[in-house]
Amino acid sequence: MTTGERKREFQIALIPGDGIGPEVVEATIPILEKVVRKVGHSITWREFPWGCDYFLATGRMMPEDGLERLRPLDAILLGAIGSPGVPDYISVGGLILPIRRGFDQYVNLRPMRTLPGVESPLVRRTGSDLDLICVRENSEGEYVGKGGRHEIGSAEEWAEQTAVFTRRGIARIVRFAFELASRRPRRLLASATKSNALQYSMVLWDEVVEEVASRYPHVEWRPYHVDALAARMVSHPDTLDLIVASNLFGDILTDLGAALTGSLGLAPGANLNPDGQYPSMFEPIHGSAPDIAGTGTANPIGTLWAGALMLDHLGLREAHDQLLGAIGRVLAAGTIRTPDLGGSARTSELATAITAEL
């Protein structure tokens, strides 16, 4: 905390959720509290027991006034959502998507970086060789939920799923991406498209990207068909830096990116309302992993990194850097790793080691 800066108590909503969500959140809370104290501030948590158990008890993933309860808080930390007993379209569609849309969290930010000492399973690179970030459109596109099923149960049954792209929606996510690219050392941007096959939505996407790009002559950019871009992420990741993509394309590319960095358990995500009108939400991109829930072996780093993104968003860059530094030193030592990274450590052991590094 700098001289003259007032100590602040941040009010954070906590939604542990399902499966391994409560386990990784439990490991994350004391570490975030410690690093925030180190920079002279504090966190107060407001926990909400929403998720699939709440759905099975009430018929809803969160109460009708859920958004109103979250609205006055500074940010939201989410563990994981999903359960074998609840269809994904209900769990995600009943909690995550309403929060993203209701709070206009139109930026989904997902870093994809190989952390110290972690080897990528495909390109066999370590350290900073793989350092990408995806700016994913988070409010429209392929996930707007428009469409339906028809003639259900008959031999002629058919379904339609309609994507909706607006000039406004594309322009604001692309502007955010170019602004971020202009602050990164390489000033390099790739736009994921598929305008050779999607002659309406992706043609509009390409047109808007080109219009916005004309205002950023200092940023080098080019469009890639999304399939070619996926291949390039595997074969030549060093030619990429920042990727801007639609809702669906960004979702797929970032799961690929997480695999390339060594484990889905390492990957964080931020759902941002850049204007600060509403709280933003931070979460690991892994799911609830019911196969390992309750074993105490889940990797907490994705949640910790998501927490670090939250701290950065709240203006605590120093705390963000300290936390990522501690994570990096523990991983570089190579002695304490959870099973997804080839080790045998428990969630609590990895968290304890990271706490000690702080």
DSSP assignments along 7-62, one per residue? P-EEEEEEEEESTTHHHHHHHHHHHHHHHHHHTT-EEEEEE---SHHHHHHHSSSS
Mean of pLDDT values over 235-264: 93
143 and 233 assigned to the same domain: yes
pLDDT tens-place string over residues 188-228 = 999 999 999 999 999 999 999 999 999 999 999 999 999 99
Closest CA to 10 of 40, 35, 48, 44: 44
Is the pLDDT score of 2 beyond 70?
A: no
Number of domains in the chain: 2
For 149, the 3-state DSSP assignment is strand
DSSP-based helix, strand, coil % in the chain, nearest 5: 40, 20, 35
Q: Which of 211, 245, 260 is the last residue of a domain?
A: 260
143: in domain: yes
Residue 251 annotated to the active site: yes
Looking at the structure, do residues 246 and 143 belong to the same domain, yes or no? yes
Please say if the pLDDT value at position 312 is more than 90.
Answer: yes
Active site residue: 88, 129, 227, 238, which one?
227
Asked if residue 143 and residue 67 are part of one domain, the reply reads: no
> Residue 268 — φ and ψ, nearest 5°?
-105, 165
Statement to judge: residues 241 and 295 lie in one domain? no
For residues 308 and 227, membership in a common domain is answered with no
Residues 225 and 137 in one domain: yes
Is the same domain home to 221 and 182?
A: yes
Residue 136's domain is classified under what CATH number? Answer: 3.40.50
Q: Which two tokens stand for residue 230?
A: 């996926």
When mean pLDDT is compared across 112-126, 142-156, 213-227, the lowest value belongs to: 112-126
Which of residues 89 and 192 earns the better pLDDT score? 192
Please give the residue that has the higher pLDDT: either 122 or 319. 319
Residues 101 and 218 in one domain: no
Question: Which helix (H) or strand (E) segment is 253 a member of?
Answer: helix 247-260
What is the structure's pLDDT at 198?
95
pLDDT band at residue 114 using 50, 70 and 90 as cut-offs: confident
Q: Which of 18, 131, 241, 251 is catalytic?
A: 251
Question: Do the beta carbons of residue 94 and residue 61 sit within 8 Å?
Answer: yes
Q: Give yes or no: residues 77 and 99 share one domain.
A: yes
Average pLDDT in the chain: 93
Q: How confident is the model at residue 125 (pLDDT cuts 50, 70, 90)?
A: low
Amino acid, res. 146: K
Catalytic residue among 54, 74, 194, 340: 194
Beta-sheet pairing, 141-150 with 158-164: antiparallel
Q: 154 in a domain, yes or no?
A: no
Q: Kindly state whether residues 33 and 54 are assigned to the same domain.
A: yes
What's the confidence (pLDDT) of residue 117? 85
Confidence label for 5 from pLDDT (cuts 50, 70 and 90): low
pLDDT at residue 3 is higher than 80: no
pTM above 0.85, yes or no: yes
Is position 116 within any domain?
no
Domain shared by 240 and 296, yes or no: no
CA 66 to each of CA 47, 103, 211, 284, 332: distance values in angstroms, whole numbers, following the listed order: 12, 12, 38, 21, 41
Structural domain of 222:
131-147+160-260
Q: Which of the listed residues 234, 260, 286 is the one where a domain comes to its end?
A: 260
Asked if pLDDT for residue 135 goes beyond 60, the answer is yes
Q: Which residues, in sequence order, are CB contacts of 111 under 8 Å at separation 6+?
A: 132, 133, 267, 268, 305, 309
Which of 53, 206, 255, 321 is labelled catalytic? 255
**Domain's final residue, options 232, 260, 288:** 260
User: Is residue 127 pLDDT above 80, yes or no?
Assistant: no
State pLDDT tens for residues 15-36: 999 999 999 999 999 999 999 9
- Choose the catalytic residue: 143, 216, 224, 278: 143
Tell me the angle at which helices 317-333 and 21-38 cross, rounded to the nearest 10 degrees.
Answer: 120
Whether 284 and 214 map to the same domain: the answer is no
Q: Sorting pLDDT into bands at 50, 70 and 90, what band is 118?
A: confident
Per the listing, tokens 């972690």 go with 118
Residue 314 in any domain: the answer is yes
Q: Are strands 141-150 and 107-113 parallel, antiparallel or unpaired?
A: unpaired
206 catalytic? Reply is no
Q: The domain that contains 302 carries what CATH number?
A: 3.40.718.10
Is 194 designated active site? yes
pLDDT at residue 129 greater than cutoff 70: no
Distance of alpha carbon 172 from alpha carbon 177, whole angstroms = 9
Instruction: Identify whether 152 is part of a domain.
Output: no
Whole-number pLDDT of residue 27:
97
Q: Could you count the other beta carbons within 10 Å of the beta carbon of residue 246?
A: 28
Q: What is the pLDDT of residue 122?
A: 66
Q: Does residue 305 carry a pLDDT above 80?
A: yes
Domain assignment present for 250: yes
Residue 124 has pLDDT above 60, yes or no: no
Average pLDDT over residues 295-323: 96
Domain contains 122: no
| SS3 (DSSP) at 169 | helix
